[in-house]
Each structure stands twice: as structure tokens, then as C-alpha cells.
Amino acid sequence: MTAIILMVASAAIFFVIGTLHLKATFFGSDLTPRDPALQKSMREISPVETTETNMWRCWIGFNAGFSMGLMLYGLIYGFLAIAHSRLLFSSPYLLIVGLLMVGGFVALSKAYLFSIPFVITGISLACYVASIIVALA
């Protein structure tokens, strides 16, 4: 039961982060540049790849996609922990994929974000690893 609780905690952290990030992407100003001129410039400049969009729309799309990925991880691994814990904890594939996903988000947070997401994703990683240790003990 402890392993399930730890895995659900890991998943819930990512689901909550993803949900808050998605809300901030579409309904807040936290993800807008401090300099309004930068946002204006992002709306006027297209990426090299295409002229069908601009950098601001890409920014919104990347943030929304990032949020959805966090939420998807949370939903899938939370569901597996609750409804199919035996499958989850006996599948090296699922455990490795989950570990790579959580570890990848921790690495992204460290390299490209700031201390709060790094600490929160680190807590999720600790819960994830602890759940596996408890399940295998």
C-alpha cells in the first residue's frame, strides 16, 4: 500500500503542476515576458521553419504541450498505481519509462527553468523511486 501511495503522490505532483501550468498558459500573465516589446516582437517574427506561425504562438503551443505531457503522465501513472498496481510494479518497461519521464522533467527543470519546479519535480522523483524500492522490498 505504501508503494501505491508514493506512486500516486509522484503522479499527482505532475498532474497538479501540469494543470497549473496550462491555466497559466491561457489565463494568466506569469508566462508572458516582463518586457512588452519582447512579446510584440515574438508576435511579429516567424521561426525559420515556417511563416505560417509566429514565435508567440509557438511559445503558447510549447507551453500547452508541456502542460499536457505533465498531466498525461500524472493521469496514466496515477491510474496504473490505483487500478493496476500489480501490473505497474511488475513491469520493468513501465517502471523504466516512468523513471525516464520523471527524471527527464527533473533534468529539464534544472537546466531550463528555476528552483521551484526543480524542487517539486525532485520530490516527485523521490516519491517515484521510493515507491519502486518499497514495492520490490
pLDDT number for residue 68: 97
pLDDT number for residue 19: 98
Residues 105-113: what's their mean pLDDT?
Answer: 96
Taken in order 112, 117, 118, 123, is the CA torsion positive or negative?
A: negative
Mean pLDDT of all residues in the chain?
97
Cα distances (Å, whole numbers) of residue 70 to 19, 39, 74, 86: 8, 25, 6, 23
pLDDT number for residue 38: 96
pLDDT number for residue 79: 98
pLDDT digits (tens, 9 = 90+) for 119-135: 999 999 999 999 999 99
pLDDT number for residue 124: 98
